[in-house]
Amino acid sequence: MGRIHVLSENVANKIAAGEVVERPASVVKELLENSLDAGARRIRVNVEAGGKKLIQIIDDGCGMVRDDAMLAFERHATSKIRNADDLVSIATLGFRGEALPSIASVSRLRLETRAPEDDAGTVIEIAGGKLLTVEEAGLPPGTSIAVRDLFFNIPARRKFLKAESTELSHIASLVTHYALAHPEMHWELHSATNAMLIAPPVADHSQRIYQVFGRETLDQLLPLSAMLPLERIGLPQPPPWRRSQPEEDEVAEPVKGDIKLHGFVSRPEIQKLNRNSIFIFVNGRLIRDRLVQHALTEAYRNIVPPTVYPVVLLFLEMPFTEVDVNVHPSKVEVRFRQSSLLHDFIRDSVRAALMKARPVPAFVTEMRAQPTASPSLSPRGGVSAAEVGELGVTAADAAFALHAPETPSFTSRLQFEGSGIAIEANAAIPVARFGPQTFGGALQPALAEVAPPTNGCSVTVTAEEDAAVGLESLATLKPLGQIRDSFILAVNPQGLWIIDQHVAHERVLFEKILKQRLAATPEKQQLLMPLIIELTPSQMAVFAEISDELQLNGFEAEPFGTRTIAVKSTAAGIKADEVEHMLHEILDQFEREEQSLNLEKIRTGIAATIACHAAIKVNMPLEQNKMEWLLAELAKTDCPMSCPHGRPVVLRYSVKDIQRAFKRI
C-alpha cells in the first residue's frame, strides 16, 4: 500500500512557499532529511566536482513501493502530513512535498528504491522534469538517489555556482553536522575517491565529536544538559477560532510537557570572530535562530568580549506543537511558541555550565584562538605557527608589545546552502594545530612536529595531563614579580602564569560590587563638597532612568538645574577627580544601547564601570604581599578567567607547552 498522497490545494497553500534548490548543498540537505525521515541507520553521500557533477545519497531507510516512487515526484506529494491541522505539530524534517520534484526538474535524477516488504525494487529516471524510464529491478532495501549535472538545463543558475572546493566545503559542513546530531547512525561522505568522513555509530555526542574533530576540540567544549518543565504546551485546545461557546467543562486541562536541552558550549578562551561555529538543532533539525543566538550572547556576557562568539552545538527537544517550522521554505527558520521562556532557559543553562567549569585560558591556546578579537600577548612580527610555543624566546628580542596577532591564513569557512549557516573549517580547534581539512581521516596535525633527536637531555618533566586546569590552582600561585609594573608573573606546578593586574582587580571588584548591590550594602565615600556635573540632554534622560540604581551603588546625586547634577557621595575607591569621567561613561553606555534596558544590564554595566575605575592600574609597582593578596582574591571569584568586559585575566603557559618549546616532547 502506498503512503504518499498529493496534498489538497488548501493545505498546499498554507505551506511557506519558495525555492529550495539553490546550490548542491541544498540538494544534499533535502535528500539527507528525506533519508532521516525514512528511518535510515546508515547514510552514505557521494559527490563529484563539489556536487555539480554528482550528488548521490544512499540510505537503508523504509524505501518506497512502486506507486509511491512515481508519486513522490508530483508537487505537494508527501507521506508526512495530511491536513492543515498537521502543520501545527510537525514531527518529520520534511512536510512540503516539494523537494523531489524541484530537484528532478533541474537535474538528471536516478532513483533506486525498494521497500523491505517488496520483492522487487523500482528504478526511475527523470531529466529536467521529464520522466524517462520506470523499471523493476533487484535492489537492496532502502533508497539511492543520484542527482547529476545540477542546473544543466538552467545555464544562468549553473553559472552562479561557486568553485568546486567551496561547494564541497558547504556539503562537508552540512553532512558533518548532521553526523554530529546523530551519533547512533553510520555516516559516510566521499568526494570522488576521497573519503572525507567515515563515522560508524558511537554511544553519544561526545564520542562523535571526538571521532570527527579529535580530542583537542572535545577538551575545549563543556557539556551541558538541562530540562524545563512547561505548564502548558501548544496552542490552547481547541484553538480560539474553533470555539463555539466556551463552556466551563469544555475548557480542556492544559497539557504539560518538557523542553530538554543538551549539547556543548566552548570554554571562554575559544573565541570566534563570527557566529559560524554555532549549531543549533531543534527536534533534530538544524536551524538558524536569532532568539537562541541572543540567549547565547547573554550567557557569555561579561565572560567574552561582546564582539566574539563561542563554538556551540546545542540540541533542543520539545513537543512538536511548541515550534512552528512552517516559516521558511528551506525550513532553517522556526518560530517558538513560548519564546521568552525558552530564551531564558537557554541563557541560564549555558551560563551555569560556564560557571561550573571556571576554566583558565591556556597561554598558547589564547593566542591561537583569538586571531584579532582582542589584544593578546605576542611578539611583534609574524611567528610561524610551529614557533608559537617558543614565544618566550622570540619575544625576548622583539620589544615587548601588546598587539593583535595576525589572522591565521587557513581558517577557510564552510558555509551551508543559502542559509548563512557556516563554520570555520577548523571550528573549535586551536588554529595552529590543524590544516584546512577537519573532516574524517583528513584530521591530521598539519604541522607534524618532528621529534628531536634524543641526546640524553630529553628527560620529560612529569606533568599531569593539563588540558583544562581548574581555577583551584590559582590559589596555589606564587608571584615572582611584575613585567613593566603591569603584568604579574607567577608559577605553580601547572606552569607559568601571567596575570593582567588591572583586569584581575577589575574582576575582583566587579563581583564584590554586585554582591554588595544585591545585599543593598554599597561601600560609599562622602565627597567633601558636592560635585556639580554637567550632562547632555540624553545623558540627563538616562540619569533619570537609572538614578535609583546609581544610588544603590553608593552614588548620591540629585538634579541641580536642568542639565546639571550634584554628586554628594561616590562608590568606594573612586578618586574625586575621576567621578565626572566615570559618570559620563556609565550614562553613555546606556545611551548607546539599542535595546531596552533591563535591570541586569544596568547593574552589571554600573558595576563594571566602577570596577574599572577603582581597580589597580597598569604601570603600577606592587609589593609582594599586594600581589599575593590580589591572586588570592582572584581565586575566590566566580569567574576569574575574564574581566567584566570579557578580556582574559589570566594566561597560562602549561608545563606541556614549555616542554614542547624546549623540544623535550
SS3 (DSSP) at 627 = helix
In this structure, which amino acid lies at residue 331? Answer: K
Region of 26-34, 149-157, 462-470, 595-603 interacting with Mg ion (CB under 5 A): 26-34
Instruction: Give CA–CA dist 507/302, Å, rounded.
Output: 10
Residue with Cβ nearer ligand ADP (153 or 326): 326
Sequence-ordered alpha helix ranges (H) in 389-443 = 391-397
Indicate the pairing of strand 556-559 with strand 650-654: unpaired
318 contacts: CB under 8 Å, gap ≥ 6: 257, 258, 259, 260, 282, 283
For residues 29 to 48, the per-residue mask of contacts with Mg ion, x marking binding by CB under 5 A and - elsewhere, is -----x--------------
* Choice between 55 and 611, CB closer to ligand ADP: 55
Residues 233-262 as x/- pattern, contact with Mg ion by CB under 5 A: ------------------------------
Q: Which is nearer to ligand ADP, 91 or 483 (CB)?
A: 91
With contacts defined by CB under 5 A, name the span among 93-101, 130-138, 365-373, 431-439 that binds Mg ion: 93-101
Contact call for residue 59 and ligand ADP (CB under 6 A):
yes
Of 139 and 597, which CB lies nearer to ligand ADP in the complex structure? 139
Binding status of residue 56 toward ligand ADP by CB under 6 A: no
Report yes or no: 264 and 223 within 8 Å, Cβ to Cβ. yes
* 121 is a contact residue toward ligand ADP (CB under 6 A): no
For the bound state, the minimum distance from the C-beta of residue 3 to ligand ADP, rounded and expressed in Å, comes to 6
Q: For ligand ADP, which residue of 34, 277, 376, 411 counts as binding (CB under 6 A)?
A: 34
Q: How many CB atoms lie within 10 A of CB 477?
A: 22
Indicate whether 358 belongs to the interface with ligand ADP (CB under 6 A).
no
Q: Which residue from 68, 71, 76, 90 is spatially nearest to 11, judged by alpha carbons?
A: 76
Taking CB under 6 A as the rule, does residue 35 contact ligand ADP?
Answer: yes
DSSP per-residue string spanning 565-609: EEEEEEETT--HHHHHHHHHHHHHHHHH--SPP-HHHHHHHHHHH
- Which of ligand ADP, Mg ion, none does residue 370 bind (CB under 5 to 8 Å by kind)? none
38 binds, among Mg ion, ligand ADP, none (CB under 5 to 8 A by kind): ligand ADP
Q: Establish if 99 lies at the interface with Mg ion (CB under 5 A).
A: yes
Q: Does 122 engage in binding with ligand ADP (CB under 6 A)?
A: no
Looking from the CA of 313 toward its CB, the CA atoms found within 13 Å total 23
Q: Which is nearer to Mg ion, 99 or 627 (CB)?
A: 99
Say whether residue 270 binds Mg ion (CB under 5 A): no
Provide, rounded to whole angstroms, the least separation between the CB of residue 282 and ligand ADP. Answer: 17
Q: Which does 486 bind (CB under 5 to 8 A by kind): Mg ion, ligand ADP, none?
A: none
Beta strands in 30-171 (DSSP E): 42-48, 54-59, 77-78, 108-114, 121-127, 130-137, 142-148
The three cell numbers locating residue 613: 575605575
Side chain identity at 573, as an amino acid letter? G
Closest distance between Mg ion and the C-beta of residue 174, in Å? 15
For 157-172, give one letter per residue: b (16+ CB within 10 A) or e. eeeebeebebbbbbbb
Of 59 and 511, the one with the shorter C-beta distance to ligand ADP is 59
Binding mask 97-116 for ligand ADP (x = CB under 6 A): xxxx----------------
Of 88, 320, 342, 315, which is closest to residue 230 (Cα–Cα)?
342
Cα-based torsion angle of the residue sequence 173, 93, 221, 175 in order, rounded to the nearest 10 degrees: -20
Binding site for ligand ADP (CB under 6 A): 3-4, 30, 34-35, 38, 59, 61-64, 72, 77-80, 94-100, 143
